[in-house]
């Protein structure tokens, strides 16, 4: 068990290393010379050369990669071309909205999707099931920013139930914070609900045909207990897996939805940085999102042994 955990953690090292190599290569072959940009328009060739030597840009690819990655692992992502601030400072200012958005989204999605999937499997083939599956297909097909505009238009602009745009920090109280996040989080959650509900339904359908479910029903266990204790517990591994895979979609969605709802998070930062061609910031945000994704999936892999004690490595 301990050796499995160790091996699984070690297995993420090549993945992380690949991601870093990939992102660094982008920085390396990006058009435009950072030294020339820093030196400004009036600089002579000699001045540019001096800055290049100063920054260490004249050294070879492996040397620069090693130096850059030790920096990254210590939280040093370089300096923004646009603001001249350390990238890590800019990112630290933007983490809270994005993190809040992701957490609220996940809570909403799981709380809605799992019961829906169980219900659809239980009422298999009936109207409720068809309605839920239709919703799932729609959730797949309508792009997240479209859902965002539709919900913002109806719930916020026309009905005035929720703030249209903007973010209230947690320090100003949990309720205003949650109110500012409900709309974007629910928007992001629709897609997530669709995939989690589909997997929950599919797994539950298979499990509800097992002998032990018939046994449980035969000995008079209540239907709620059969569904949520006997069946759902056994369906949890695929559900947890898809929750982990879906994080990638939440991240992708966050990049767009922060622009729609004017949330000052990492997604907004990367969109602004694209327009400013601020490559160090773009790369740092991509790296951080990828690290988060890898980390969450590592945790999910490790959680299997807790969820299902039959799993032994």
Chain residues in the site for another protein (CB under 8 A)? 14-15, 18-19, 22-23, 26, 29-31, 124-125, 137-138, 140-143, 145-146, 149-150, 153, 157, 164, 198, 201-202, 205-206, 208-209, 213-214, 217, 248-249, 251-252, 255-256, 259-260, 270-271, 274-275, 277, 279, 282-283, 285-286, 289-290, 293-294, 297
Give Cα separations from 251 to 93, 189, 275 (angstroms): 18, 11, 20
Q: What is the DSSP string of the chain?
A: -HHHHHHHHHHHHHHHHHHHHHHHHHHHH-SS-HHHHHH-TT--HHHHHHHHHHHTTTS-HHHHHHHHHHHHHTT---B-TTT-SBHHHHHHHHHHHHHHHHHHHHHHHHHHHHHHHHHHHHTTTSHHHHHHHHHHHHHHHS-HHHHHHHHIIIIIIIS-SS-SS----GGG-HHHHHHHHHHHHHHHHHHHHHHHHHHHHHHHHHHTTSHHHHHHHHTT--HHHIIIIIIHHHHHHHHHHHHHHHHHHHHHHHHHHHHHTT--SHHHHHHHHHHHT-HHHHHHHHHHHHHHHHHHHHHHHHHHHHH-TT---
Report in angstroms how near the CB of residue 72 gets to another protein at its nearest. 15
Report in angstroms how near the CB of residue 114 gets to another protein at its nearest. 16
Report in angstroms how near the CB of residue 101 gets to another protein at its nearest. 15
Q: Which is nearer to another protein, 55 or 292 (CB)?
A: 292
Report in angstroms how near the CB of residue 200 gets to another protein at its nearest. 11
d(C-alpha 302, C-alpha 132), whole Å: 31
Q: Which is nearer to another protein, 50 or 99 (CB)?
A: 99
Q: Which is nearer to another protein, 137 or 311 (CB)?
A: 137
Query: The dihedral of CA 60, 65, 67, 68: what is its sign?
Result: positive
Q: Which is nearer to another protein, 31 or 309 (CB)?
A: 31
**Residues, the chain:** 313
Report in angstroms how near the CB of residue 47 gets to another protein at its nearest. 25
Q: Which is nearer to another protein, 16 or 53 (CB)?
A: 16
Report in angstroms how near the CB of residue 189 gets to another protein at its nearest. 17
Q: Which is nearer to another protein, 182 or 267 (CB)?
A: 267
Q: Which is nearer to another protein, 53 or 126 (CB)?
A: 126
d(C-alpha 181, C-alpha 101), whole Å: 6
Q: Which is nearer to another protein, 28 or 313 (CB)?
A: 28
Report in angstroms how near the CB of residue 288 gets to another protein at its nearest. 10
Report in angstroms how near the CB of residue 279 gets to another protein at its nearest. 7
Q: Which is nearer to another protein, 23 or 119 (CB)?
A: 23
Report in angstroms how near the CB of residue 183 gets to another protein at its nearest. 14
């Amino acid at each position: 068990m301990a050796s499995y955990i160790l091996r699984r953690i070690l297995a993420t090292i090549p993945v992380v290393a690949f991601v870093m190599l990939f992102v660094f290569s982008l920085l390396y072959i990006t058009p435009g010379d950072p030294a020339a940009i820093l030196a400004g328009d009036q600089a002579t060739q000699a001045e540019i050369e001096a800055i290049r030597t100063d920054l260490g840009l004249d050294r070879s690819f492996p040397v620069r990669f090693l130096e850059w990655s030790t920096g990254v692992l210590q939280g040093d992502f370089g300096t923004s071309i646009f603001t001249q601030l350390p990238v890590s400072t800019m990112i630290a200012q933007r983490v809270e909205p994005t993190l809040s958005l992701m957490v609220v989204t996940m809570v909403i999605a799981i709380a809605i999707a799992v019961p829906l999937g169980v219900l659809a499997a239980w009422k298999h083939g009936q109207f409720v099931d068809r309605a839920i599956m239709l919703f799932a297909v729609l959730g797949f097909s309508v792009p997240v920013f479209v859902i965002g505009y539709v919900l913002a238009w109806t719930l916020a602009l026309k009905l005035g139930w929720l703030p249209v745009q903007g973010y209230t920090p947690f320090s100003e109280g949990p309720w205003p914070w949650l109110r500012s996040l409900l709309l974007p989080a629910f928007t992001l959650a629709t897609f997530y609900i669709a995939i989690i509900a589909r997997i929950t339904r599919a797994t539950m359908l298979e499990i509800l045909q097992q002998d032990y479910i018939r046994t449980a029903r035969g000995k008079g266990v209540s239907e709620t207990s059969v569904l949520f204790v006997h069946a759902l517990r056994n369906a949890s591994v695929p559900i947890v897996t898809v929750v982990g895979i879906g994080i990638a979609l939440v991240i992708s969605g966050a990049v767009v939805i922060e622009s729609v709802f004017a949330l000052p998070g990492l997604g907004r930062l990367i969109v602004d940085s694209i327009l400013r061609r601020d490559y160090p910031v773009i790369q740092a945000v991509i790296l951080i999102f990828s690290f988060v994704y890898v980390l969450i999936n590592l945790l999910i892999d490790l959680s299997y042994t807790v969820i299902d004690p039959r799993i032994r490595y």
